[in-house]
Amino acid sequence: MKYQYWNPELETMPRPELEALQLERLRTAVGWALRTPFYRERLPGAGIKSADDIKTLDDIKRIPFTTKNDLRDAFPYGLLGIPKEEVVRLHASSGTTGIPTTIYFSREDIKRWTGYVARCVYGTGCTRDDVFQNMITYGLFTGGLGLHAGGEEVGMLVIPSGPGNTARQFRLMQDFGTTVVHATPSFLLHVESIMRAEGVSRDSIRLKRAFAGAEPYSEDTRRRIEKLLGIDVYNSYGLSEMNGPGVAFECQAKDGMHLWEDGYIGEIVDPQTLEPLPDGETGELVLSCLCREATPILRYRTRDLSAFYTEPCACGRTHRRLRRITGRTDDMLIVNGVNVFPSQIEEAIMAMREVGNNYLIVIEKEGVLDRLTVKVEVGPDIFMDDARPLNALRERIRKTIQASITINPRVELHEPGALPVSEGKAQRVRDGRPKDI
């Protein structure tokens, strides 16, 4: 196979040069970080008062970890390192209306980010001849605008369709000859059956490949989508704290995701001891962003479990590859691609007077999509046989939860004491989705 590189010099840079570049950029990023109130308080305690205190790449280990809680505590501007008038965009993590972790971008930041996304897109074989339908959520979530910009940079025709309205999606595909789509893997699994239901023949669309990410999926799921649709599926990994998509992506070898190491420094650590693990071993991925001045984030604990491959890739790129994400070290759930913390649901419902003392979050597969149900015990002064006020209450709970997590849940009301009480630690989540990773 002939592999194509967007930026051959950087993508195939020999490791010693790549590491020298990383060191230079890490020093720059530390300088940026020291302009934020958050790191100005945190770094000097670790002996880092200026970029000059970083002398080797190994010195990164002296930088304290940053967590999602740190980002929340620093909201809104504790991690802003440039004057507000130089900020041109903000983004946030998916499903986080209740827990703000906001990332700011300067004009240069957007350019750099777009460059990494373009590299990913081009590396899957896309060219300016392709028509790219971006079927992922636009808005605060980075997946929409991020891949949109990278697609345009490569010169593809980008259709900003966003998700939903499947009949219209197929019309767009037929009318404009879409060759590439971006969607969650759970949605892609669904596409073939929707096509059948809507009478859209495979011959009427020209689809060749898909970018699938935002949530974990297995190699089996990838193969299944590829077979159902007759396309190539590429795994796309990113997170808002590291700009969004464009952090790590599969090349045409489809065997692990290249982490763009000139833009991000990746470490795998033992989630308990936080000690570094050698390449090949599975642990928590820790990432430092070397390419964003507005919100510099160093040694971010992603909570995602992965490992670095030890063998070089057949494509000739020198940037190390990450294994498919196999899980998380915290209780974050990903429901149809949207991040949900059980605590968000708890905070939303427990603030309601009519809600009793117990609840249960249930996630199941319904077809190929995830279905979130929140079972809630009502308080003692609610009559369970009075349907009208009960329906109104159910609707209010549903809206409150949706306002907090952006997902529309199914809500079930139960009498006080009806839901199971566990003897030890409360079991608030029942995740019935098959674990096929």
Residues in contact with Zn ion by the rule CB under 5 A? 251, 253, 313, 315, 317
Binding residue for ligand AMP, selected from 121, 325, 393, 397, defined by CB under 6 A: 325
In sequence order, what are the residues at sequence separation of 6 or more whose Cβ sits closer than 8 angstroms to the Cβ of residue 403? Answer: 97, 348
Contact 187, 135 (CB under 8 A): yes
In sequence order, what are the residues at sequence separation of 6 or more whose Cβ sits closer than 8 angstroms to the Cβ of residue 148? Answer: 134, 138, 158, 160
Q: How far apart are CA 279 and CA 310, in angstroms?
A: 6
Closest contact distance (angstroms) between CB of 258 and Zn ion is: 6
Residue 22 interacts with which of ligand AMP, Zn ion, none, CB < 5 to 8 Å by class: none
Query: Nearer to ligand AMP by C-beta: 105 or 141?
Result: 141
In sequence order, what are the residues at sequence separation of 6 or more whose Cβ sits closer than 8 angstroms to the Cβ of residue 222? Answer: 185, 212, 233, 235
Residue 251 interacts with which of Zn ion, ligand AMP, none, CB < 5 to 8 Å by class: Zn ion
Kindly state whether residue 183 participates in binding ligand AMP, applying the rule CB under 6 A. Answer: no
Half-sphere exposure for 16 (CA within 13 Å, toward CB): 0
Query: Nearer to Zn ion by C-beta: 10 or 313?
Result: 313
Contact 412, 375 (CB under 8 A): yes
Closest contact distance (angstroms) between CB of 234 and Zn ion is: 11
Binding-residue pattern over the window 231 to 260 for ligand AMP, x denoting contact by CB under 6 A = ----xxxxxx---x----------------
Kindly state whether residue 184 participates in binding ligand AMP, applying the rule CB under 6 A. Answer: no
Q: How far apart are CA 28 and CA 89, in angstroms?
A: 21
Closest contact distance (angstroms) between CB of 308 and Zn ion is: 13
Q: How far apart are CA 164 and CA 166, in angstroms?
A: 6
Query: Nearer to ligand AMP by C-beta: 22 or 142?
Result: 142
Q: How far apart are CA 246 and CA 239, in angstroms?
A: 9
Binding-residue pattern over the window 372 to 401 for ligand AMP, x denoting contact by CB under 6 A = ------------------------------
Burial (CB count within 10 angstroms: exposed 0-12, middle 13-18, buried 19+), residue 206: middle
Query: Nearer to Zn ion by C-beta: 171 or 254?
Result: 254
Query: Nearer to Zn ion by C-beta: 156 or 313?
Result: 313
Binding residue for ligand AMP, selected from 161, 169, 302, 336, defined by CB under 6 A: 302
Q: How far apart are CA 414 and CA 422, in angstroms?
A: 17
Binding site for ligand AMP (CB under 6 A): 93-94, 141-142, 213-216, 235-240, 244, 302, 304, 325, 328, 334, 339
